[in-house]
Structures are given as C-alpha cells and as structure tokens.
Amino acid sequence: MNQDLQSLLQKFRSELREIGHYEEATRLMEWDLRTGAPKKGHELRAEALGTLSAKIFAMLTSENMGRYLNELTSAEAELSQVDRALLRVVRETYERSKKIPPERHQAYVMLVAKSQSVWEEAKKQANFSLLKPYLEKIIAFKREFIQYWGIQNHPYDTLLNLYEPGLTVAKIDPIFKQLREATVDLVQRIGEKGFPKFPVSLRREAPIHQQRHFSEKLLERIGYDFQAGRLDETAHPFEESLNHYDVRVTTKFVLDDVLNAMYSTLHEGGHALYEQHVSAELIGTPLCHGASMGIHESQSRFWENMLGRSRSFLQAIYGDFQAAFPGLFADVHLETLYQAANHVEPSLIRIEADELTYNLHIMIRYEIERALFEETCEVGDLPRLWNEKVRDYLGLETPNDALGVLQDVHWSGGDFGYFPTYSLGNLYAAQFRETLYKEIPDIEEQWSEGDFSQVLEWFSTRVHSHGKVLLPSELIEQATGKPLSADYLIRYLQQKMSDIYQV
C-alpha cells in the first residue's frame, strides 16, 4: 500500500473515531433516559439528543466523507479485508443518510426520544391512545424515508436491511412458514396432553436486593467482565455498548418471579459477551459491534435458552440459586427448576414467553409491521389487529393494551424491521449450537461442572471477534459450513420437547 493511500486511510479512520465519540455520548444519554433520568428533564434531553444526532449526521454526510469514500472505493482492491469491510459499512450509511434531508432526520430523532417516554406512561395506564399520535408520526417518517431510500421489491425490505443486511420479505417468508408450521404442531401436541401444572410453584416473593445479587453472580459465571460493564434496572431490559470497555446490562426485577430476572439477565448478558469480545483491533470504527441484529440475537438467545435452560447449566448454578434466596426455594429440587424453566404454555407477554411459543410472538409483530408498510393497515388498527392475531396464534384473549400492543418499547423507538431478528437469532443460535456440539462433544459435561470458558471461547473465535467485518450470511457459513436453515431450530425444539413432554 502506497503512502498516499495510508495517509488517506488514517484521515478516514480519524474522522470515524470522532463520529464514534459523538455516538458514544448519545448512547450514554439514551441509556440514562431508560434507567432513571428525571421525567421533567426528558424534553430537554430529547432536544440535546437531536443536536448531537444532527452533528453526527452532518459529519457522516459531509463533502469530506464523500471524498474519502470515492477515493477509497477507487483503491478498494489494495485494501485489507478489514478496511474493505469498513468502507462497505460506512458507504452504506453514507448513501442511506445522504438521501434524507438533515432537518427531517433531526426532527425524527427528537420525536423518537419523546415517544419512548410517552410509551412508558401509556403502558402504565394501559392506554394506547396516548402513544397513538406519536406512532402515527413515526410511521409517517418511516414511509417518507423508504421513499427517499427507494423501494426494490417490497417497502418493508428497506427496514429489514437496517438490522439484517441482505434480508428480504421473499427470503424470510418461507423460513418463517416452515418454522410456524412446526411450532404450531408441537404446541398443539403438548396442549392435547394438557399443559402441565407444577405441584410446587416458583412464584414466591424474593427481595430485589437478593435477585440483583443473583443476577450479578450469573453474569460473573458466564464470563461477563464487570470491570468493563455494570448491571442496572429498567422497565424493558436492554444492553448498551457505550464503547468496547463499557458494555452495560440492564434487567427487570419482578418481586414474585425470580426466573424473569434470571433469564432477562442471561439474555442481555449474551449480547454483552458479544460486544466485550469483538476484536480490540476494530476499536474506533463502526466495525466494533455485532455483525447484525440477527447474529446479535443468536448470542442472547443461546445464553438465555440453549445454555441457560439446559439441565447441565441449571445443575451448575443450582447451589447459587439456593444460596441467593436462603430457605425460599428449599423444596424446589433441580428437576423441578428444570421443568419450570422449560414450561410450555401460550402466554401474552413476549419477553416472558417460553422457548417454543416465543417465535409465534415474533410472527405476530412481523405480520403487523409488514402490513403497516404495505399500507394495508394504519396505526389506529393496531390494538384490534394485535388482539386478533394473539387469538389466532396463541388462542388467548388480550385483556388490555399494556398486555397487548403496548408491551414492547421497539415501535415507540422507531425500530420497525427489528422484531424478525429475534427469530433469526433463534435460527442462527440453533445452527451454531449443532456445530458446537459436534466439535466439543463433552460441552454439556463442562457446563454441569460450572465451566463455561470453552463455549465462550468458541463463540469469541467463530462469531464475536469478527465484529462487522463479515456479513451475516458469510459468518454463519464460515462458522457452520452451511447457509442459514430452519432445520436446525426445528430439530432442536422437537428433540427438547420430546425429552420433556414425550410428544
């Protein structure tokens, strides 16, 4: 590589590092908004976020950035794999952002910041009408942005691509159809035998400080680095990566449901492990994050479910569980804990759904989002449409909006196109799992002894370290030798449900 090209790359990377600093500031402000910032300050915080976002937007779409991209594109053949990936990611963001008028982008960011605060109040009151005007504006913005970006085959494809590069309605529909049919069949077969009722209930009040200590212990167990992160409480759990060495986890504590916090902590912990194990060589670039939201969700869903609900994992942490809540669960044996952690029964809340019916929750949201951007429904139709689909897919009646259309924060944050990545995450996770088990046949024995170092090392090498250098399709094929398929998840669920429920 000649000196001129090296100098150009250094300037390009320096510009990206500065943009990254502004982005870190916005992420910290957003984290603060969702973890207890004073309510009276929300409006001014939204204004500050709008200002910072406008600055980031201006830098990303500047003439300077355009010049860097043009010159680097002409010399792309001389670039390393990492620099080619960096060019790809920044060029996509530049081209997408350049098509949006700056004032429209800033207005959208401010709207979303306000909307998330309104969502919290609407959910508390179980009153969709509070959020409705905000959602209508967000949908209008998204439809406007789709027009700027251009429609290839389906308007929803554009939004799917924001979270999962290369994903389209045409690709996801047949995969979801196969998964839906297999899931419905299993749920029906278990239901015909009668969803099991346990003689011993785990719904017992456990002090929040004990639940918090147990959550911290779980994170330590799986390899989360508290020197580069922290655990906080929030209404809707999330993970926030401020920078490579500041990766934060939040969870939700429910007084009489310790498994709720346990599994939301493992879920967000899975996200955090990914971010903490991206190669340090990618620091200061937008490559220093997960490959896509689908791959990211594969990590959270693996640690939450495929490892976290396994008999071997529960055996390893059973002593911690009993010690964390002295005497409270003395009559709960390991097998009872395993059965409770893997209980299958249709329920209203996605984040509390069992491993089997969870994907049906995602398909409800996917179908509604697709309809919104096909413009075959409007925001005012959402509560009715939601309740109908819950009845059709889960056989349940939705008593109020808080337990229905208002249960998730995503739409108030403008995250349309995100929900399908949860099911994609399950699909990726099952495929990774099958390869992992073939390569390390005694992996569950290691888990039962409390050793999770080798599984973390396997994922760090195969998935985490690459950051965004590889596309999701490249990463899954490189790690498992095969393109994405629903077969692995269906096989995993069938084997597990057969073991537990003899169906």
Does 453 score more than 80 pLDDT?
A: yes
Judge whether 297 is annotated as a binding position: yes
Point out the least confidently predicted range of 191-205, 445-459, 474-488: 191-205
Mean pLDDT of 286-299: 98
CATH number at residue 360: 1.10.1370.30
- Give one word for 470, left, alpha or beta, with left for phi > 0 and alpha for psi -120 to 50: beta
Please name every residue paired with 233 in a beta bridge, in sequence order, or none if there are none.
251
How many CB atoms neighbour CB 469 within 10 A?
Answer: 24
- Mean of per-residue pLDDT scores for the chain: 96
Q: Which two tokens stand for residue 448?
A: 């039962």
For the segment 478-498, what is each residue's pLDDT rounded down to a tens digit? 999 999 999 999 999 999 999
- Taking Cα atoms as reference points, which of 335, 365, 340, 364 lies closest to residue 354? 340
Q: 494 lies in a domain?
A: yes
Q: What is the pLDDT of residue 199?
A: 58
Q: 164 lies in a domain?
A: no
Q: HSE on the CB side for 182, CA within 13 Å?
A: 20
Helix axes 128-149, 382-394, angle to 10 degrees: 90
Does 417 score more than 90 pLDDT?
A: yes
Of 123, 150, 177, which residue sits at a domain end? 150
Q: 303 lies in a domain?
A: yes
Enter the pTM of the model: 0.93
Of 104, 120, 150, which residue sits at a domain end? 150
Q: 75 lies in a domain?
A: yes
183 & 239 share domain: yes
Mean pLDDT of 224-252: 97
Q: What is the pLDDT of residue 105?
A: 92
Residue 198: pLDDT band (50, 70, 90) is low
196 & 134 share domain: no
Q: What is the pLDDT of residue 352?
A: 85
Q: What is the pLDDT of residue 436?
A: 98
For the segment 303-345, what is each residue's pLDDT rounded down to a tens digit? 999 999 999 999 999 999 999 999 999 999 999 999 999 999 9
- Taking Cα atoms as reference points, which of 89, 1, 29 lies closest to residue 282? 89
Residue 456: pLDDT band (50, 70, 90) is very high
- Beta-strand (E) ranges in 125-234? 231-233
Judge whether 239 is annotated as a binding position: no
Gap between the Cα atoms of 322 and 307, Å rounded: 19
Three-class secondary structure of residue 11 per DSSP:
helix
Gap between the Cα atoms of 402 and 350, Å rounded: 12
Q: 394 lies in a domain?
A: yes
Report whether 337 contacts 318 (CB < 8 A). Answer: yes
Q: Decide which of 2 and 440 is more confident.
A: 440
Q: What is the pLDDT of residue 235?
A: 85
Does 428 score more than 70 pLDDT?
A: yes
Q: What is the pLDDT of residue 467?
A: 98
Does 196 score more than 80 pLDDT?
A: no
Does 351 score more than 90 pLDDT?
A: no
Report whether 398 contacts 386 (CB < 8 A). Answer: yes
Residue the block writes with tokens 């916090």: 261
Q: Which two tokens stand for residue 325?
A: 């809540």
Phi, psi angle pair for 468, to nearest 5°: -100, 10
What is the amino acid identity at position 150?
Answer: G
H-state helical runs in 239-310:
258-276, 293-301
187 & 120 share domain: no
Three-class secondary structure of residue 9 per DSSP:
helix
Gap between the Cα atoms of 53 and 47, Å rounded: 10
Residue 201: pLDDT band (50, 70, 90) is confident
Q: How far is CA 30 from CA 34, 141, 490, in A?
A: 6, 20, 37
| Numbers of helices and strands, H then E, in the chain | 20, 3
Q: What is the pLDDT of residue 299?
A: 98
Mean pLDDT of 385-402: 97
Of 96, 121, 150, which residue sits at a domain end? 150
Q: What is the pLDDT of residue 167?
A: 94
Q: 222 lies in a domain?
A: yes
Q: 339 lies in a domain?
A: yes
106 & 220 share domain: no
Phi, psi angle pair for 247, to nearest 5°: -115, 110
Q: 160 lies in a domain?
A: no
129 & 219 share domain: no
140 & 266 share domain: no
Q: Which two tokens stand for residue 105?
A: 């982008």
How many CB atoms neighbour CB 174 within 10 A?
Answer: 10
Tell me the residue length of the chain.
503
Total structural domains in the chain? 2
71 & 175 share domain: no
Report whether 258 contacts 211 (CB < 8 A). Answer: yes
Residue ranges making up the domain that contains 233:
169-501
For the segment 108-136, what is each residue's pLDDT rounded down to a tens digit? 999 998 999 899 999 999 999 999 999 99
Q: Indicate which residues carry an active-site annotation.
A: 268
Report whether 356 contacts 179 (CB < 8 A). Answer: no
102 & 186 share domain: no
Judge whether 244 is annotated as a binding position: no
Q: Decide which of 503 and 492 is more confident.
A: 492
415 & 471 share domain: yes
Q: How far is CA 61 from CA 95, 100, 121, 387, 461, in A?
A: 8, 10, 36, 42, 34
**Angle at CA 396, nearest 5°, toward 390 and 402?**
70
299 & 442 share domain: yes
Q: What is the pLDDT of residue 195?
A: 82
184 & 104 share domain: no
For the segment 273-286, what is each residue's pLDDT rounded down to a tens digit? 999 999 999 999 99
3-state helix, strand, coil in the chain (%, to 5): 70, 5, 30
376 & 453 share domain: yes
Gap between the Cα atoms of 432 and 425, Å rounded: 10
How many CB atoms neighbour CB 214 within 10 A?
Answer: 21
